[in-house]
Amino acid sequence: MKKTFLTVATILLLIACNNETQQQNSEQQNNATMETSTQKSAIEKLLFAYRDALNVSDVNKVLPLYAQEGVFMPTNAPTSIGQAQIKDAYEFVFKNIQLKIAFHIDEIVVNGDYAFARTTSKATTLIHATGQTTPEENRELFVLQKENGSWKIARYMFNKMK
């Protein structure tokens, strides 16, 4: 009888331990999912702030969105590295064109303090020199990095789809 009691008690103890482990794993997965969701929301907010800065041609709104050593890699233009070069590049862009752009976020992947976002955009571009407005479609790749607890653009590259 004692053997049967010990066996049953051992089985019940193992089941209880297994259930607790499963519950802890489930809670950890839920926490990780919530954290990833929070991070993705913060990245979406950053991307839409970038879109808004482009639409008002405001260098002072673009710069804080980039990491201190960020890199801007536009099509058919030199790469800009760091805040000073990025500032010069966007001043040149905004001097020459006015964008009205809409982003569609295709993918965001977060891995610790780094993430990437893949987007597509449709825009109209007003060329100041000619007054001509042209349609534009691009695909973009953003590499993002947490800097002082906030997501920033670490690398940004785009190319034309048409």
pTM of the model: 0.79
Average model confidence (pLDDT) across the chain: 88
* Structure-token pair, residue 105: 């976020």
Residue 66 belongs to domain with CATH number: 3.10.450.50
More confident site: 126 or 25: 126
Residue 80 sits in which domain range?
2-160
Instruction: Kindly list the distances between the CA atom of residue 10 and the CA atoms of 7, 14, 145, in Å, as whole numbers in the listed order.
Output: 5, 6, 49
Does the pLDDT of residue 13 top 70, yes or no?
no
Cα–Cα distance, 159 to 121 (Å, whole number):
10
Rounded Cα gap, residues 33 and 46, in angstroms = 20
Give Cα 90 to chain centroid, integer Å: 20
* Total domains in the fold of the chain: 1
> What is the percent of the chain where pLDDT is above 90?
72
Closest CA to 161 of 141, 147, 146: 141
**pLDDT band at residue 158 under the 50/70/90 scheme:** very high
- DSSP structure class, residue 78: -
Q: How confident is the model at residue 162 (pLDDT cuts 50, 70, 90)?
A: confident
